[in-house]
Amino acid sequence: MSEFSADSENTRFLTSPNKSMDEVREYLDWVVSEWGKGKTQKYFCYAVVLGEKLIGEVALGVVPPSKKASIGWIIHKDHHNKGYATEAVRKIIEHAFKVLDIESVISSCDEKNTPSRRVMQKCGMLPLSKKEAWEYDDGRVSGAVYYCIERADHETS
């Protein structure tokens, strides 16, 4: 996991990336502690695996009791532009609607992150008018864009 989550080039669009193996371990410990909480579980982290190699993750954060969730992902840079993020995000959105009874899924990214915007669009997400400034850990500031898909729209597509 550290091959992609602690790599500065791979995480340039994350506002608070893991900076060390210790931070990666802390994150994984927290993910494991969240898994299997049943109806109280609010965070789901799914591995993106190619063959036997971990190439990324998709994370879904549920906001109870609103039946809304946010989704984000990271894929190892060697596997960008091959459709893996799109395939994984589509499956997790479907899981959120069908199994977790979520009504809407939102995602956001840096306005300059064209590949992530394309993933959202390919997954049927529509842009929201909401925009805001993001401040990165390294002091950079950039615009953020938001996309959303509603369960009713997903079911008709």
- Tokens 């597509």 correspond to 157
SS3 state at 68: strand
Q: How are beta strands 141-150 and 43-50 bridged, if at all?
A: unpaired
The predicted model scores a pTM of 0.81
Domain count, the chain: 1
Q: How are beta strands 104-110 and 53-63 bridged, if at all?
A: unpaired
Does 143 or 150 have the greater pLDDT score? 150
| 4-50 per-position pLDDT tens digit | 555 566 555 555 555 667 877 787 787 777 777 766 778 888 989 99
* pLDDT score of 115: 92
b/e code 41-70 from CB counts within 10 Å (16+ = b): eeebbbebeeeeeebbbbbbebeeeeebbb
Q: Judging by beta carbons within 10 Å of its beta carbon (0-12, 13-18, 19+), is residue 150 exposed, middle or buried?
A: middle
| 83-121 per-position pLDDT tens digit | 999 999 999 999 999 998 999 999 988 888 899 999 999
- Quote the domain boundaries for residue 16: 2-156
Tell me what the pLDDT averaged over the chain comes to: 83
Q: Please report, for the domain that includes residue 25, its CATH number.
A: 3.40.630.30
